[in-house]
Structure formats: C-alpha cells, structure tokens
Chain A
Amino acid sequence: QVTLKESGPGILQPSQTLSLTCSFSGFSLSTYGMCVGWIRQSSGKGLEWLANIWWNDDKYYNPSLKNRLTISKDTSNNQAFLKITNMDTADTATYYCARRGTEASGYFDYWGQGVMVTVSS
C-alpha cells in the first residue's frame, strides 16, 4: 500500500525559506524508475507542478521557480524534501508530494494529503 505524507512549518514570514518533508511508504526511491514530485495548489494559480526527483537522483524543476527550488531525498528513510527560498505571500498554498506513475507517462498515481503553508508577516 502506497502512502505519502507531507510535513512543514504551517506559517512563515516573507523572505524565509520553506522546508517540506515527504515521508512515504509502499515503494522505494532507490528502485529503478521511481520518482517523487512536488505540486502545490493555491486559489490564485490552481495546481502547479514544482519539481521531480528520480531514483538515480536526477532532478527536474519548473523553470518559473527553478532558482528558488531545491529537491532532495533520503532513500534510507523513505523521504523526499523540497526547499523554497525567499518565500512570498504569493507562495501561500497547499503543498502536495506525489509518486510519479510507473507507466513512465508523467502522471501522479498517489498523492499525500497535502500541507497548508501560509506566508504572512
């Protein structure tokens, strides 16, 4: 059974760095072909894909945010991480981690419940 769960600070101030953790079970990010992504959802911009990290440590970022994003993983502890620097009120959103589907087609077949992040002074 595949499950994912996000954790994060909840609230942070503008210009701070957001650190998110995705803890998952039911699969391993050391297995060939596996990939975990981060997606956020805000009332203003809807669903927005942020980044993917692959089993071989390849990383892909949304170009619109690339200079602010860092994705990483801890395979031994079944976790993936996302850092976003210089947070702004526009980054207020629910942040999801999700497993990329195994059919190599770019869809996400399992999602975490999401973590709400509010940026406010």
Chain B
Amino acid sequence: DTVLTQSPALAVSPGERVSISCRASEGVNSYMHWYQQKPGQQPKLLIYKASNLASGVPARFSGSGSGTDFTLTIDPVEADDTATYFCQQSWNDPYTFGAGTKLELK
C-alpha cells in the first residue's frame, strides 16, 4: 500500500503562514486530497487533486505538489483552523490516508 507520511504536529501563531507536508512512498500523480477534522467531527474536504479548492472552503487554504511530495498551505492562519489535517491518495489501490498533522495555535 502507498504510505503517506505527515509531520505529527505543528504550532503557529494566528496571522502566520503554515505549510503542512505529505510525502507518498510512491508516486500518486496529482491524486492527493486534503481534509480537515476537528474533534468530534467528521473529516471535511479542503483540497482535491493536489490544488483544487473544494466548494465553500476559504481561499486561505491552498494545495500544491505532484508525484510524491505535496503541501497544504494556510495563509493566514486563523484561530478556527485548530484541527487535524489529513492527506489521502487515490492514484494507487487501495486508497490510503496519512496519519494526520495536528495544528495548534500559539
């Protein structure tokens, strides 16, 4: 299976820019997607196919990358962005998810 590696946690101050990385163990073309999950809630789609903003998602969120290295950027970070962020690939079977990056605000 394709393993997606994410940093476990990040801490940033409101108003700053943060980049959350996801590295795939094998190429996934541009078929990488990003989700936000707050405690007690279901995941919410933010970015699909590496760089496409999902409907209703603020333009503060953006995605980039292809192949094996991908980045979710939030600029500027707001207090409400405190959450865990997951990447998911759908190029290789089976679909797999990263373990998540927990974003905390200072």
A: residues with CB less than 8 A from B are 39, 46-49, 60, 62-64, 96, 101, 103, 105-114
Contacting residues, chain A, for B94 (C-beta < 8 A): 49, 62-64
Q: Is the CB of B90 within 8 A of A106?
A: yes
Number of interface residues of B (CB under 8 A): 26
Interface of B toward A, CB cutoff 8 Å: 1, 31, 33, 41-45, 48-49, 52, 54-55, 86, 88-91, 93-100
| Distance between Cα atoms of A112 and B43 in the complex (Å) | 9
Contacting residue for B99 out of A46, A49, A114, CB 8 A: A46
Q: Are B45 and A46 in contact (CB under 8 A)?
A: no
Q: Is the CB of B90 within 8 A of A107?
A: yes
With contact pairs A46-B100, A47-B97 given, residues A106 and B42 touching in the complex (Cβ less than 8 Å): no
- Nearest CB on B from A105, distance (A): 5
In Å, the complex CA distance between A46 and B43 comes to 12
**Does A105 lie within 8 Å of B42, measured CB to CB?**
no
Minimal beta-carbon separation of B30 from chain A (angstroms): 8
A113 & B49 in contact (Cβ 8 Å cutoff)? no
B43 and A106 within 8 A (CB): no
Whether A109 contacts B88 in the complex (CB less than 8 A), given A47-B43, A64-B94, A114-B42, comes out as no
Enumerate chain B residues within 8 angstroms of A47, measured Cβ to Cβ: 43, 86, 88, 97, 100
